[in-house]
Chains A and B, each alone.
Chain A
Amino acid sequence: EVQLLESGGNLVRPGGSLRLSCAASGFTFTRYAMSWVRQAPGMGPEWVASISTDDGGRYYAGSVKGRFTISRDNSNNTLYLHMSSLRAEDTAIYYCAKDSEPNYDFWSRPPGAFDVWGQGIMVTVSS
């Protein structure tokens, strides 16, 4: 079964840091670009960051650039999101998501059409 399982969510104070993990199984992880998408309470999804299959390319939303770092460990089929300088507006459910097309040209377009999502993990930034 194709599955993504996030972990690492928590309550953190403004200015703090947190690392999210996403364990992938049931598909060839190394063939797919991966992304993080978040959803604040009552709002629509917001793309956060994407990473190419070989970690050669990373893209970030303007709202998190310079504060968040996406990475992946292909030997352990795991995606990460390191978040620092957290703000109240970063409070959201964070999902990891898999691109639907294997081995596409990461530089030609962003990942999209996410066909597999994790269950989501809550990150709350509050004092």
Chain B
Amino acid sequence: DIQMTQSPSTLSASVGDRVTITCRASQSISTWLAWYQQTSGKAPKLLIYKASNLQSGVPSRFSGSGSGTEFTLTITSLQPDDFATYYCQQYNSYSGTFGQGTKLEIK
């Protein structure tokens, strides 16, 4: 199974900050990686697909990069709505998919 490991598990930041979340795959997944945002009680929302492509309607302060086994999600100029939990998802193979999540908290 491919394991997806996110870091950090929790991140404290302030409005206006720039933050980066990392997702590492236990083996190469090319660029078959997506990022989601989830707020309490709601379904995950797709932010980034194929590692670096911004989903339609998602603000440009969100960006993704990486390939192979290491990926990052960057949020520039944090807004109040951005404090949520973020998950990466690999879709290179059926063996395991989502990371364990990164909770972005207000400092």
A interface residues with partner B (beta carbon < 8 Å): 44-47, 50, 59, 61, 95, 100, 109-115, 117-120
Contacts and interface: CB of A to CB of B under 8 A. Distances in A.
Contacts of B94: 47, 50, 59, 61, 110
Contacts of A111: 91
21 contacts: A45-B36, A45-B44, A45-B89, A45-B98, A50-B94, A59-B94, A95-B44, A109-B32, A109-B93, A110-B93, A112-B49, A112-B89, A113-B34, A113-B89, A114-B34, A114-B46, A115-B46, A115-B49, A117-B44, A118-B43, A120-B43
Interface residues of B, number: 23
B43 A95 contact: yes
Given A100-B46, A118-B43, A112 B101 contact: no
Nearest to A100: B49
Contacts of B97: 45-47, 110, 112
